[in-house]
Amino acid sequence: MENVVELTEIDDAIIQIKMQDKKSKNTFSQALTDGLIKAYKYIEKQEKYKAVILTGYDTYFASGGTQNQLMSLSDGSGSKFTDFDLYSLSLNCPIPVIAAMQGHGIGGGFAMGLFADFVILSKESIYTTNFMKYGFTPGMGATYILPKKIGITLAEEMLLTARNYRGDELKTRGIPFSVLRREEVMHHAYELGKSLAEKPRVSLVALKDHLVAEMRNELPKVIQQEVKMHEITFAQPEVKERIKTLFGQ
């Protein structure tokens, strides 16, 4: 059985993290969560790498929380999204991370991708922060990273309406990322990784530390606010019913 998180050296300086939990379509299953945390811990200890490429499989990048996780949150019996800090893995990684989002980025999966230093979308894929579709407020740092990376106007629209957007539509809306045909995404990620690998690692680490210092400092406060909103919004009976009937649609 293949690992749901596969680490591959692209060359001596570039490592790829591939999320491929095909059983759960890259929702944040326990296997995927554990695999991602272990992968980033491994990379943090390796001083030869200069860039990370984070990607998914086939038409899926990452799909957010599982239905069982959301139901447990609505019951008040589940762990919080803060118990397993997936959202800031890329932000806290010492070297630059490229999110090659060749497939769908859904809910917390889309937010997680935006915490990378570089983001590449595919024209054909769906990207959505669909939290409010189920009636609960966004988590995973989405209320922070969307305005930060794509601007407040589009971020408010995506967060409040919870609708689906094709990468092609986001490109016409002026999203500040490369949006390419799906078959071109990984090639572009590799070329970007090679460009980073030409630089001294010490300089890459120092510059990333400087560029993301504000986000690293501000994010914990926003996460606390998201958890407080969850305590209110997940308690609504309507939310549980929406998760039961709408999940996966």
Question: Rg of the Cα trace of the chain?
Answer: 17
Residue that the structure tokens 């980025």 belong to? 105
Instruction: Tell me the catalytic residues.
Output: 230
Alpha helices in the chain (DSSP H): 30-45, 67-75, 89-92, 108-114, 142-150, 152-161, 167-172, 182-197, 201-233, 237-246
N residues, the chain: 249
**What's residue 195's pLDDT?**
98
Which whole-number Å values give the CA distances from 17 to 4, 38, 107, 113, 140, in the listed order? 10, 11, 20, 12, 20
Show the tokens assigned to 74. 């609505």
Confidence at residue 1, expressed as pLDDT on a 0 to 100 scale: 41
How far apart CA 145 and CA 236 sit, in angstroms, is: 26
pLDDT at position 2 is: 60
Closest CA to 219 of 96, 111, 64, 110: 111
- Please give the structure tokens belonging to residue 96: 């630059």
Looking at residue 200, the DSSP 8-state letter turns out to be: -
pTM assigned to the model: 0.94
Which residue ranges in the chain fall short of pLDDT 70? Answer: 1-2, 76-81, 248-249
Q: What is the pLDDT of residue 245?
A: 85
Please give the pLDDT value at position 120. Answer: 98
Domains of the chain: 5-181 (3.90.226.10)
pLDDT at position 29 is 92
The confidence score (pLDDT) of residue 121 equals: 98
Q: Among all chains, which residue has been given the structure tokens 């860039």?
A: 51
Quick one: 222 exposed, middle or buried, by C-beta within 10 A (0-12, 13-18, 19+)?
middle
**pLDDT value of residue 125:** 98
